[in-house]
Structure 1
């Protein structure tokens, strides 16, 4: 399954999800990275 498909299956706009995740990833703490997975993601 691709990240795009996963975002769609979880009811997210794939573009918004990926843009947000890729923007937040460099500053995200390693222990909090699971919050960026598509099934747990919420636009902050």
Structure 2
């Protein structure tokens, strides 16, 4: 599976945590209905 990811590896928790923290913080209060792909570029392949 990781061969089809541009970064060449599967996601690790450290890859997802910053986005989760952002979404839990007041900075994201105005973000609505978005899809945030944390996939290392897999969607580009």
Q: Point out the structure with max Rg over C-alpha.
A: 2
Q: TM-score range by the shorter chain?
A: 0.3 to 0.5
Choose between structure 1 and 2: higher helix proportion: 1
Task: Give the TM-score normalised by structure 1.
Answer: 0.35
